[in-house]
Structure 1
Amino acid sequence: MDNVAIKTLLAELDAQGIYVYLQDGRLKLRSKLTTVPAPELAKIKASKDELIAYMQRHHQQQGDLSSAQQRIWFIDQYEQQSTAYNMCGLLQLSDSLTINELQQAFDTLLARHQILTTQFFNTEQGVVQRVNSQLRLALNTLDIAGHEIPTQIVEKLHDELSYRFDLENDLLIRATLIGHSGAGKWLYIAMHHIIADGWSVRLLVQELLAILTNNNTVNNAAACKPLQYLDYVHWQGQFKQSAIYQQQLSYWQQALTGMELFELPTSYPRDKQKTYQGKSQHSVIDTRLVTEFDSCCQQLTVTRFVGLLSVFYVLLQRYSQKQDITVAVPVLNREQPEFENVIGCFINTLPMRQMVSPQSSFAQLIAQTKVLVAQGLANQSVAVEDIIETLGLAKSSAHSALFQILFNYNGVDTGTVEVATLSAKLLPLDNGTAKFDLTLNVSESEQGLEISFDYCSALFDDHVIQQMSNDFNQLVISLGNNAAQTIATVELPSARYASQLLGRKKAHEKVSSDVLALPVQVIKQAELSAEKITCIENNYLNH
């Protein structure tokens, strides 16, 4: 068979959802043999040697973008290389490493994972991602004194934290060894979200440690991986044509038809253009209180995730006085076992729409949320972009079309990775951005539950978010102790702040945004240019 005939055969197989790939030089089918029609199976067997030779010569180096990548690419183009989708972390290593050791380890990682050397281009045929195997990570170094603590190190990483990746020209991963004289126990890593997700970060760190410690178990498994991220993109394109995908899409269409975009009342009016300027507020719910809440969840036969999501719905209902509430919930989206250990951006976000009646008890809300989560996870493969298109939702430059609020629960302690004799403690870093109006992050730690509220600082006052964070923690305690309480009557410690927000929202609707935001704009301008004129009224005032 010539190349044209082989391409034609592969296209025919693709059209029927039959995916052929190479593993250790052998031809493999993703579909079960029993599901492949006899004529097609006969063609594959007859052309086996030609297919293997062709695929070895034309190993996939370019392809379309996945649904998740398309969303991120669009935002990057619109925002002109925003830092909102930079994934930054600081690794505290158990042993000091040299720059040469780390450089060799990163070289091996980049050779294994094509996505780490992938760049993105806008062509006449559309946006494509292209592997550039010539790219090499140039490891940076930062000298510090031996006694410096993480907060002092972060201050010295200011330029790195504010680095704007160029998706077309840059290597989309950066690293800095922090120590003294070319060796150190601190390692800063940054990647653009378009090539990785949270799960990928842990995979990358685990493989990095395995290479450094010559751990054969992890190294052999990683080196023999048959699939790359482009294989997933190809599979996703096939899956979108399947009846299963269309069934899942129908579920979301029915679940979200007639919904109104849920928004919290804000401290300041919303600008016409979305801003990613953000801040974070952190707190901890200690282990004893978490255990009491877990007991409540066990009695109601739900997971901690369902319980905490239900508490969040209560908080949002009390602050907004709305009943139709949609919260975004990210999922790993790695249901296929062969993609579980592939680095790339797999994550999907599910719009969980809940009707929260103030007259319902917390126990009743938990029961509703349990069903909602089960249905959502059963239909989790549908890309959020396809949901938006199916619903015919108008896109806005000021906010997301489906949701403004996100609940991100990490049910395992991913703070420390250990391989053989080497370990790394991962400290996520705040780069001063917020992707959504408000994101509640919950993760496990030795101290209990780490609670983090990320918020758009152009919309919310710091003090309001602090009170909201306190309210969430108190609701976990109160509702965990008495799930029979109704949502309307459960004590909200900072109820007056919620009322103030509602009052401000009504004012926003009546008063011009420019007039209402004047004090806020004055403050912001003062921070930017302290010597310029504030305003003129008879005489002038400067900052």
Structure 2
Amino acid sequence: MMIQELYRALLEQGASAQHHQGEVKLHLPKALDAALKQQLIARKDELKQYLLGLYASASQAPVIKPVERTQAHFPLSSAQQRLWFLDQLQGNTIAYNMSAAFTVSGEFDLAVLEQTMQSIVARHEVLRTRFIEVEGEGKQQLVSAPAQLVSSHDLSDLTASAQQTQLDALLAQEAAYAFDLSTDSLIRVHYVTLSPQQGVLMFNLHHIVSDGYSVALLVKEFSHTYSALIAGQEPELAPLPLHYIDYAHWQQNEARTHYQAQLDYWVKQLADAPEVHTLPVTGQRDTLQHPAQKFTQQLPEHQAKAIADSAEALQLSPFAFLHALLSLVVARHSHSQDIVIGTPVENRLQSGLQSLQGFFVNTVPLRVSTEFDTLMEYFEHVKSINQQALANQELPLDQLIEGLQISRSQVHAPLFQILLTVEGTPAQPVSTQFNVADVQLTQQVLPVTSSKFDLDINLVFNEQGLALNWVYDSHLFTADYITKLSTHLSQLIAALVPQNLAS
């Protein structure tokens, strides 16, 4: 894994870093994964240099400080402004709902569930924020949490088939819930009782208050808080140094000059980049929201390990390696050697942001050329592109689009229409199960209803190997064509094992 992925894995297991007078000290949890500990020992010096560089980069920006809570409302971050504007334009769209459902096995205490959610919402201001219009601009306003956060549904008296029918209806209803940003609680929780030992827990958040990193943090805090409360103890979570409002205020008032150097990089990097991919499409682009479809191909465990081995041999992260291979497939199908693919980045470089809920994630365009004589030269190029993108990840996407003076289109996303995310590693696969006290939660696969991109490709290292998930606009692509793309990517993965790369 790349050094930044090692650092993230350490943070997820409870490690923390402190920087003082040019020195970095890493605090490790007592129960650290053995494989991760081995990686840390082997790459201690490399991690130290990475952290020193990270702190040096962050130190060039103004420090984020708490702002007084004496105002009636506060500015939005750049990312929030974009979603608020889209919501105003489209009218309570469901495109930015973040839904999840978990099968619960064990005796789940609904009173403690309510206490847990109240504790988390009290801890994170952004989860009790509303978004209002003031003189034509979006603003965020702090409010009290609802008296009741969890809605409960008891289906235990129904037959199994009737339970499934009702459950499917509830899941569909919640996924289609259109948040009113000005009045609704932007985190919704439902618990469906199927029997004393079985149930389903549903979450629904609006993206304007959350992102993928925040969801993982929410699960971690949920597990810790519920486990403490069910044992009759107080949760022990470190006080938050900041809240999202402090970040938004800093971004809008103090960080703009810090972004100029990053804008200069992106203007140069994206000069004359293609506005739209040239993959063959079957439908005519229009302004309508078309249904999305999903195709999944599961690769076996030995291929997942081959990817990690190949990436390590090339000194690439699994993400960069898979990005390189996907770009080759897209280039072949596009008849183009100039490929732009977007990817989300956590964008939490500033001190104090790692423990916050909120919409921090930024999306950066990765522009690569596939015009190289050898694979090794090409992989070095992709590695450089990824490293430079991470070094310039803070510039908000909207400010980048404005800086590039790109004309907005109503029929396709600006800069890129293909998105790539990679989750987990073969050493630390993504698990769909976790335990909360004596209860086991298993994440369900929910149906896909919409996509903000032509192609949204999510590659997940799981316990079975590597899942290739393709969410696509069904108006532009057929199922057969997406299957062909996935097959070509899997064939390329199978071909590029370490011994082939070495030769």
TM class by shorter chain equals 0.7 to 0.9
Partner of 2:356: 342
Cα 1:419–1:363 shift into 2, 3 Å: farther
Aligned counterpart in structure 1 of residue 249 of structure 2, from 220, 230, 234:
234
Partner of 1:449: 466
Task: Look up the SS of the partner of 2:357 in the other structure.
Answer: coil
Cα 1:315–1:234 shift into 2, 3 Å: same
- Quick check: 2:280–2:333 contact (8 Å CA) kept in 1? no
- Measure, in 1, the Cα distance between the counterparts of 2:234 and 2:328: 44
Determine if the alignment matches structure 1 residue 120 to structure 2 residue 131. yes
What are the superposed Cα offsets for residues 358-386 of structure 1, whole Å, 9 maximum, x if unpaired? x6443332111000000110111111111
Aligned counterpart in structure 2 of residue 373 of structure 1, from 377, 380, 386:
386
- Measure, in 2, the Cα distance between the counterparts of 1:110 and 1:388: 34
Q: Which amino acid aligns with 1:397?
A: Q
Partner of 2:284: 270
Determine if the alignment matches structure 1 residue 320 to structure 2 residue 334. yes
Task: Look up the SS of the partner of 1:180 in the other structure.
Answer: strand
Report how far residue 276 of structure 1 moved. 5.0
Cα 1:290–1:134 shift into 2, 3 Å: closer
What are the superposed Cα offsets for residues 494-523 of structure 1, whole Å, 9 maximum, x if unpaired? xxxxxxxxxxxxxxxxxxxxxxxxxxxxxx
Determine if the alignment matches structure 1 residue 409 to structure 2 residue 422. yes
Q: Normalising by the residue count of structure 1, what TM-score does the alignment of the two structures yield?
A: 0.73
- Measure, in 2, the Cα distance between the counterparts of 1:129 and 1:148: 44
Task: Look up the SS of the partner of 2:461 in the other structure.
Answer: strand
What are the superposed Cα offsets for residues 365-418 of structure 1, whole Å, 9 maximum, x if unpaired? 211100000011011111111111011000011111111000111235253444
Cα 1:234–1:422 shift into 2, 3 Å: farther
- Measure, in 2, the Cα distance between the counterparts of 1:140 and 1:245: 46
Report how far residue 149 of structure 1 moved. 12
Report how far residue 270 of structure 1 moved. 3.1
Determine if the alignment matches structure 1 residue 164 to structure 2 residue 181. no
Percent identity of paired positions between Structure 1 and Structure 2 = 29
Partner of 2:120: 109
Task: Look up the SS of the partner of 1:220 in the other structure.
Answer: coil
- Quick check: 1:275–1:458 contact (8 Å CA) kept in 2? no
Report how far residue 168 of structure 1 moved. 1.4
Q: What are the within-5 Å matches in structure 2 for residues 368-517 of structure 1?
A: 368-411=381-424, 413=430, 415-418=432-435, 421-480=438-497
Q: Which amino acid aligns with 2:363?
A: T
Aligned counterpart in structure 1 of residue 153 of structure 2, from 123, 136, 141:
141
Task: Look up the SS of the partner of 1:158 in the other structure.
Answer: helix
Partner of 2:83: 72
Partner of 1:219: 235
Task: Look up the SS of the partner of 2:261 in the other structure.
Answer: helix
Which is higher, the Rg of structure 1 or of structure 2?
A: 1
Q: Which amino acid aligns with 2:237?
A: A
Partner of 2:213: 199
- Measure, in 2, the Cα distance between the counterparts of 1:209 and 1:191: 18
- Measure, in 1, the Cα distance between the counterparts of 2:316 and 2:145: 50
What are the superposed Cα offsets for residues 263-283 of structure 1, whole Å, 9 maximum, x if unpaired? 243443333315252111112
Cα 1:184–1:472 shift into 2, 3 Å: same
Moved more, 431-440 or 361-370: 361-370
Aligned counterpart in structure 1 of residue 103 of structure 2, from 87, 92, 98:
92
**Structure 1: runs of 5 or more not aligned:** 1-30, 37-50, 487-543
Cα 1:230–1:462 shift into 2, 3 Å: same
Partner of 2:347: 333
Q: Give aligned pairs, total.
A: 434
Aligned-residue Cα RMSD (Å) equals 3.1
What are the superposed Cα offsets for residues 151-191 of structure 1, whole Å, 9 maximum, x if unpaired? 87445522112111111121111121122368743201111
**Structure 2: runs of 5 or more not aligned:** 1-54
- Quick check: 2:121–2:145 contact (8 Å CA) kept in 1? no
- Measure, in 1, the Cα distance between the counterparts of 2:375 and 2:272: 25
Task: Look up the SS of the partner of 1:330 in the other structure.
Answer: strand
- Measure, in 2, the Cα distance between the counterparts of 1:227 and 1:418: 29
